[in-house]
Amino acid sequence: MLALGKLLELTLAGREPTEKIQLTADGTRLHWLAEGALEVTPPVARDNGRDLLLSAGIHGNETAPIELLDRLVHGIARGELKPASRVLFLLGNPEAMRRGERYLEQDINRLFCGRHEEGSGNEALRASELERLAAAFFAREGRPRLHYDLHTAIRGSKIEQFALYPWASGREHSREELARLRSAGIDAVLLQSKPGITFSAYTYSQLGAEAFTLELGKARPFGQNQAVNLDRLEAMLQGVISGQEADGAQIDGLQLFAVSREVIKHSDHFRLHLDDAVDNFTELDHGFLLAEDIGGTRWIVEERGARIIFPNPRVKNGLRAGILVVPTEL
Protein backbone atom coordinates (compact mmCIF):
# COMPACT_ATOMS: atom_id res chain seq x y z
CA MET A 1 0.00 0.00 0.00
CA LEU A 2 1.19 3.53 -0.75
CA ALA A 3 2.67 5.39 2.23
CA LEU A 4 0.06 8.15 1.89
CA GLY A 5 -2.61 5.52 2.48
CA LYS A 6 -1.41 5.52 6.09
CA LEU A 7 -2.92 8.95 6.75
CA LEU A 8 -4.22 8.00 10.20
CA GLU A 9 -1.01 6.22 11.22
CA LEU A 10 1.11 9.22 10.19
CA THR A 11 -1.22 11.67 11.93
CA LEU A 12 -1.30 9.76 15.22
CA ALA A 13 2.50 9.51 15.13
CA GLY A 14 2.86 13.23 14.42
CA ARG A 15 4.94 12.46 11.32
CA GLU A 16 5.01 13.86 7.79
CA PRO A 17 5.54 11.59 4.78
CA THR A 18 8.79 12.03 2.86
CA GLU A 19 6.84 11.96 -0.41
CA LYS A 20 3.91 14.40 -0.47
CA ILE A 21 2.44 13.16 -3.79
CA GLN A 22 1.93 9.55 -4.89
CA LEU A 23 -0.01 7.81 -7.68
CA THR A 24 -1.90 4.52 -7.46
CA ALA A 25 -1.59 1.93 -10.21
CA ASP A 26 -4.81 3.21 -11.83
CA GLY A 27 -3.61 6.83 -11.87
CA THR A 28 -5.37 8.22 -8.78
CA ARG A 29 -3.31 11.02 -7.25
CA LEU A 30 -2.85 11.24 -3.46
CA HIS A 31 -1.51 14.58 -2.16
CA TRP A 32 -0.57 15.24 1.49
CA LEU A 33 -1.55 18.89 2.04
CA ALA A 34 -0.94 19.32 5.77
CA GLU A 35 -1.17 17.32 8.99
CA GLY A 36 -4.26 15.13 8.74
CA ALA A 37 -5.16 16.44 5.27
CA LEU A 38 -5.09 14.24 2.15
CA GLU A 39 -6.46 15.26 -1.26
CA VAL A 40 -7.43 12.50 -3.68
CA THR A 41 -7.80 13.27 -7.39
CA PRO A 42 -9.09 10.70 -9.90
CA PRO A 43 -7.68 10.36 -13.42
CA VAL A 44 -9.20 12.95 -15.78
CA ALA A 45 -11.00 10.28 -17.77
CA ARG A 46 -12.83 9.04 -14.67
CA ASP A 47 -13.58 12.41 -13.03
CA ASN A 48 -17.36 12.81 -12.63
CA GLY A 49 -17.17 16.48 -11.65
CA ARG A 50 -18.07 16.16 -7.94
CA ASP A 51 -15.99 17.42 -5.01
CA LEU A 52 -16.45 15.53 -1.73
CA LEU A 53 -15.06 16.62 1.64
CA LEU A 54 -14.98 13.99 4.39
CA SER A 55 -13.95 15.14 7.86
CA ALA A 56 -13.71 13.36 11.20
CA GLY A 57 -11.80 13.82 14.43
CA ILE A 58 -12.98 17.40 14.96
CA HIS A 59 -13.45 15.95 18.44
CA GLY A 60 -10.41 13.79 19.08
CA ASN A 61 -12.13 11.05 21.12
CA GLU A 62 -14.80 10.28 18.48
CA THR A 63 -12.94 7.42 16.89
CA ALA A 64 -15.48 5.34 14.90
CA PRO A 65 -15.73 7.95 12.11
CA ILE A 66 -11.92 8.31 12.07
CA GLU A 67 -11.60 4.56 11.58
CA LEU A 68 -14.19 4.72 8.79
CA LEU A 69 -12.20 7.37 6.91
CA ASP A 70 -9.06 5.28 7.47
CA ARG A 71 -10.72 2.29 5.75
CA LEU A 72 -11.74 4.46 2.79
CA VAL A 73 -8.21 5.88 2.42
CA HIS A 74 -6.73 2.36 2.60
CA GLY A 75 -9.13 1.17 -0.09
CA ILE A 76 -8.13 4.01 -2.41
CA ALA A 77 -4.40 3.55 -1.75
CA ARG A 78 -4.64 -0.18 -2.50
CA GLY A 79 -6.57 0.42 -5.71
CA GLU A 80 -9.64 -1.42 -4.39
CA LEU A 81 -11.77 1.77 -4.34
CA LYS A 82 -11.39 3.73 -7.57
CA PRO A 83 -12.47 7.37 -7.12
CA ALA A 84 -14.52 9.20 -9.70
CA SER A 85 -14.96 12.21 -7.39
CA ARG A 86 -12.25 14.46 -6.01
CA VAL A 87 -12.05 13.80 -2.28
CA LEU A 88 -10.48 15.74 0.59
CA PHE A 89 -9.98 13.75 3.77
CA LEU A 90 -9.51 15.89 6.89
CA LEU A 91 -8.68 14.65 10.41
CA GLY A 92 -9.77 17.69 12.36
CA ASN A 93 -7.93 17.85 15.70
CA PRO A 94 -4.78 15.68 15.51
CA GLU A 95 -3.37 16.57 18.93
CA ALA A 96 -6.70 15.78 20.66
CA MET A 97 -6.80 12.49 18.70
CA ARG A 98 -3.33 11.60 19.96
CA ARG A 99 -4.40 12.29 23.56
CA GLY A 100 -7.81 10.64 23.27
CA GLU A 101 -9.52 13.87 24.33
CA ARG A 102 -12.58 15.64 22.94
CA TYR A 103 -10.53 18.84 22.71
CA LEU A 104 -7.59 20.44 24.51
CA GLU A 105 -8.55 24.07 25.18
CA GLN A 106 -11.56 24.93 23.01
CA ASP A 107 -14.20 22.98 21.10
CA ILE A 108 -13.08 23.39 17.49
CA ASN A 109 -16.65 22.85 16.28
CA ARG A 110 -17.61 26.17 17.88
CA LEU A 111 -14.82 28.11 16.14
CA PHE A 112 -15.88 28.25 12.49
CA CYS A 113 -17.44 31.04 10.43
CA GLY A 114 -14.84 33.45 11.77
CA ARG A 115 -15.17 32.59 15.47
CA HIS A 116 -11.54 31.42 15.55
CA GLU A 117 -10.51 35.06 15.00
CA GLU A 118 -11.88 35.86 18.47
CA GLY A 119 -9.83 33.13 20.14
CA SER A 120 -6.26 31.97 20.48
CA GLY A 121 -4.35 28.74 20.91
CA ASN A 122 -3.88 25.61 18.82
CA GLU A 123 -7.56 24.86 18.23
CA ALA A 124 -8.32 28.36 16.94
CA LEU A 125 -5.35 28.05 14.57
CA ARG A 126 -6.51 24.61 13.45
CA ALA A 127 -10.07 25.84 12.77
CA SER A 128 -8.61 28.59 10.59
CA GLU A 129 -6.46 26.03 8.76
CA LEU A 130 -9.44 23.73 8.20
CA GLU A 131 -11.42 26.63 6.72
CA ARG A 132 -8.51 27.44 4.41
CA LEU A 133 -8.12 23.83 3.28
CA ALA A 134 -11.87 23.47 2.62
CA ALA A 135 -12.06 26.80 0.73
CA ALA A 136 -9.11 25.87 -1.49
CA PHE A 137 -10.57 22.44 -2.20
CA PHE A 138 -13.99 23.85 -3.14
CA ALA A 139 -12.55 26.68 -5.26
CA ARG A 140 -13.26 25.04 -8.62
CA GLU A 141 -16.36 26.49 -10.26
CA GLY A 142 -19.22 24.46 -11.68
CA ARG A 143 -18.67 21.32 -9.60
CA PRO A 144 -21.23 20.00 -7.08
CA ARG A 145 -19.84 20.25 -3.54
CA LEU A 146 -20.66 17.82 -0.75
CA HIS A 147 -19.36 17.70 2.83
CA TYR A 148 -19.97 15.13 5.56
CA ASP A 149 -18.50 15.98 8.97
CA LEU A 150 -18.58 12.72 10.93
CA HIS A 151 -19.01 12.58 14.71
CA THR A 152 -20.09 10.35 17.57
CA ALA A 153 -21.84 11.69 20.66
CA ILE A 154 -20.74 11.95 24.30
CA ARG A 155 -24.04 10.35 25.38
CA GLY A 156 -26.51 7.74 24.20
CA SER A 157 -29.43 8.57 21.93
CA LYS A 158 -33.00 7.41 21.44
CA ILE A 159 -32.21 7.86 17.73
CA GLU A 160 -28.67 6.55 17.36
CA GLN A 161 -27.68 7.89 13.92
CA PHE A 162 -28.89 11.34 12.94
CA ALA A 163 -27.77 14.37 10.95
CA LEU A 164 -27.78 18.12 11.41
CA TYR A 165 -28.53 20.05 8.21
CA PRO A 166 -27.25 23.66 8.35
CA TRP A 167 -29.18 26.77 7.32
CA ALA A 168 -28.25 29.63 5.01
CA SER A 169 -30.35 32.50 3.71
CA GLY A 170 -31.90 31.81 0.31
CA ARG A 171 -31.16 28.08 0.27
CA GLU A 172 -33.62 25.21 0.56
CA HIS A 173 -32.94 21.82 2.08
CA SER A 174 -32.44 19.20 -0.64
CA ARG A 175 -34.79 16.22 -0.81
CA GLU A 176 -32.18 14.37 -2.89
CA GLU A 177 -29.55 14.80 -0.17
CA LEU A 178 -32.01 13.70 2.52
CA ALA A 179 -32.68 10.54 0.50
CA ARG A 180 -28.94 9.89 0.27
CA LEU A 181 -28.70 10.19 4.06
CA ARG A 182 -31.59 7.77 4.49
CA SER A 183 -29.82 5.24 2.27
CA ALA A 184 -26.80 5.56 4.58
CA GLY A 185 -28.80 4.47 7.62
CA ILE A 186 -29.52 7.93 9.02
CA ASP A 187 -32.84 7.78 10.90
CA ALA A 188 -33.45 11.47 11.64
CA VAL A 189 -32.37 14.90 10.43
CA LEU A 190 -32.46 18.16 12.36
CA LEU A 191 -33.24 20.99 9.93
CA GLN A 192 -31.57 24.07 11.33
CA SER A 193 -33.12 27.49 10.94
CA LYS A 194 -30.40 30.01 11.78
CA PRO A 195 -26.67 30.51 11.05
CA GLY A 196 -24.28 28.18 12.84
CA ILE A 197 -20.59 28.15 13.82
CA THR A 198 -19.77 24.48 13.12
CA PHE A 199 -17.56 23.13 10.33
CA SER A 200 -20.54 21.96 8.25
CA ALA A 201 -22.24 25.35 8.78
CA TYR A 202 -19.12 27.00 7.35
CA THR A 203 -18.95 24.85 4.21
CA TYR A 204 -22.71 25.10 3.69
CA SER A 205 -23.17 28.84 4.20
CA GLN A 206 -19.85 30.21 2.94
CA LEU A 207 -18.63 27.67 0.38
CA GLY A 208 -21.95 26.61 -1.14
CA ALA A 209 -21.60 22.91 -0.34
CA GLU A 210 -24.38 20.56 0.64
CA ALA A 211 -23.09 19.87 4.12
CA PHE A 212 -24.08 17.80 7.14
CA THR A 213 -22.89 17.00 10.63
CA LEU A 214 -23.50 13.28 11.16
CA GLU A 215 -23.87 11.84 14.67
CA LEU A 216 -23.18 8.12 14.44
CA GLY A 217 -23.45 6.58 17.90
CA LYS A 218 -21.54 6.90 21.15
CA ALA A 219 -17.89 7.94 21.41
CA ARG A 220 -15.47 5.13 22.27
CA PRO A 221 -11.66 4.69 22.16
CA PHE A 222 -9.85 3.41 19.07
CA GLY A 223 -10.47 -0.29 18.48
CA GLN A 224 -13.62 -0.41 20.64
CA ASN A 225 -16.26 0.55 18.06
CA GLN A 226 -17.76 -2.86 17.35
CA ALA A 227 -21.15 -1.62 18.61
CA VAL A 228 -21.17 1.28 16.12
CA ASN A 229 -22.53 -0.12 12.85
CA LEU A 230 -21.47 2.14 9.97
CA ASP A 231 -21.88 -0.44 7.19
CA ARG A 232 -24.64 1.45 5.35
CA LEU A 233 -22.84 4.77 5.65
CA GLU A 234 -19.59 3.22 4.43
CA ALA A 235 -21.37 1.70 1.42
CA MET A 236 -22.98 5.06 0.60
CA LEU A 237 -19.64 6.89 0.81
CA GLN A 238 -17.97 4.28 -1.36
CA GLY A 239 -20.72 4.83 -3.92
CA VAL A 240 -20.30 8.62 -3.85
CA ILE A 241 -16.51 8.32 -4.13
CA SER A 242 -16.62 5.80 -6.99
CA GLY A 243 -19.63 7.34 -8.75
CA GLN A 244 -21.53 4.05 -8.48
CA GLU A 245 -24.44 4.92 -6.24
CA ALA A 246 -27.61 2.84 -6.29
CA ASP A 247 -30.64 4.51 -7.87
CA GLY A 248 -33.99 5.16 -6.28
CA ALA A 249 -33.12 6.37 -2.78
CA GLN A 250 -36.19 7.55 -0.84
CA ILE A 251 -36.77 9.44 2.39
CA ASP A 252 -39.46 7.03 3.65
CA GLY A 253 -39.08 6.56 7.39
CA LEU A 254 -36.73 9.52 7.84
CA GLN A 255 -37.79 11.56 10.88
CA LEU A 256 -37.42 15.33 10.49
CA PHE A 257 -37.04 17.77 13.36
CA ALA A 258 -36.78 21.54 13.64
CA VAL A 259 -35.07 23.59 16.32
CA SER A 260 -37.62 25.15 18.63
CA ARG A 261 -35.23 26.84 21.08
CA GLU A 262 -31.61 26.77 22.15
CA VAL A 263 -30.86 26.72 25.86
CA ILE A 264 -27.97 29.14 26.42
CA LYS A 265 -25.88 29.03 29.59
CA HIS A 266 -25.36 32.63 30.74
CA SER A 267 -23.58 32.17 34.07
CA ASP A 268 -22.06 29.75 36.56
CA HIS A 269 -25.46 29.71 38.30
CA PHE A 270 -26.96 27.76 35.37
CA ARG A 271 -28.80 24.56 36.33
CA LEU A 272 -30.10 21.94 33.90
CA HIS A 273 -32.79 19.79 35.50
CA LEU A 274 -31.96 16.57 33.68
CA ASP A 275 -30.03 13.49 34.69
CA ASP A 276 -26.42 13.55 33.48
CA ALA A 277 -27.02 10.31 31.56
CA VAL A 278 -30.14 11.47 29.70
CA ASP A 279 -30.22 10.32 26.07
CA ASN A 280 -30.41 12.61 23.07
CA PHE A 281 -33.98 12.81 21.70
CA THR A 282 -35.53 12.14 25.12
CA GLU A 283 -39.10 13.46 25.09
CA LEU A 284 -39.96 16.17 27.64
CA ASP A 285 -43.31 16.72 29.30
CA HIS A 286 -45.26 19.90 28.58
CA GLY A 287 -44.69 22.33 31.45
CA PHE A 288 -41.41 20.74 32.58
CA LEU A 289 -38.89 23.16 34.13
CA LEU A 290 -35.86 22.35 31.98
CA ALA A 291 -33.28 24.87 33.20
CA GLU A 292 -32.69 27.96 35.34
CA ASP A 293 -30.05 30.68 35.34
CA ILE A 294 -29.14 33.93 37.01
CA GLY A 295 -31.69 36.72 37.19
CA GLY A 296 -34.69 34.41 37.33
CA THR A 297 -34.21 33.10 33.78
CA ARG A 298 -36.21 29.88 33.34
CA TRP A 299 -36.71 27.49 30.43
CA ILE A 300 -40.11 25.80 30.66
CA VAL A 301 -41.16 23.28 28.01
CA GLU A 302 -44.09 24.84 26.15
CA GLU A 303 -43.79 22.86 22.91
CA ARG A 304 -45.82 19.70 22.27
CA GLY A 305 -43.66 16.71 21.31
CA ALA A 306 -40.45 18.48 22.38
CA ARG A 307 -37.22 16.51 22.70
CA ILE A 308 -33.80 17.46 24.02
CA ILE A 309 -30.50 16.97 22.20
CA PHE A 310 -26.92 17.81 23.21
CA PRO A 311 -27.73 18.65 26.86
CA ASN A 312 -24.48 19.75 28.51
CA PRO A 313 -24.53 22.08 31.53
CA ARG A 314 -20.72 22.14 31.64
CA VAL A 315 -20.23 24.23 28.50
CA LYS A 316 -18.62 27.64 28.85
CA ASN A 317 -20.85 30.61 29.66
CA GLY A 318 -22.45 32.02 26.53
CA LEU A 319 -22.58 28.67 24.74
CA ARG A 320 -25.45 26.32 24.02
CA ALA A 321 -26.30 23.90 26.85
CA GLY A 322 -28.99 22.03 24.93
CA ILE A 323 -31.41 22.20 22.02
CA LEU A 324 -35.17 21.72 22.14
CA VAL A 325 -36.42 20.14 18.90
CA VAL A 326 -39.90 19.32 17.61
CA PRO A 327 -41.13 17.14 14.73
CA THR A 328 -41.51 18.90 11.39
CA GLU A 329 -42.02 18.28 7.66
CA LEU A 330 -40.39 19.59 4.50
Binding residues: 59, 62, 151
Residue 298 DSSP SS3: strand
DSSP structure class, residue 59? S
Which residue in the list 123, 131, 210, 215 is annotated as catalytic? Answer: 215
Q: Which helix (H) or strand (E) holds 201?
A: helix 199-207
> Alpha-carbon distance 302 to 178, whole Å?
29
In this structure, are residues 173 and 193 in contact, taking their beta carbons and an 8 Å threshold? no
- Mind giving me the DSSP string for 98-131? HHT-S-SSS-GGGSTTTGGGG--SHHHHHHHHHH
At 291 the three-state DSSP class reads strand
* Torsions phi, psi for 260 (to 5 deg): -90, -50
In angstroms, rounded to a whole number, what is the distance separating the alpha carbons of residues 173 and 168?
10
Does the CA dihedral 67-323-177-198 come out positive or negative?
A: negative
Residue list for the binding site for Zn(2+): 59, 62, 151
Catalytic-residue membership of 215: yes
Distance, CA of 218 to CA of 49 (rounded, Å): 34
Mark 186-201 as b/e (b = at least 16 C-beta within 10 Å).
bbbbbbbeeebbbbbb
The one-letter amino acid code at 191 reads L
What's the rounded Cα separation, in Å, for the pair 84 and 140?
16
Residues identified as active-site = 215
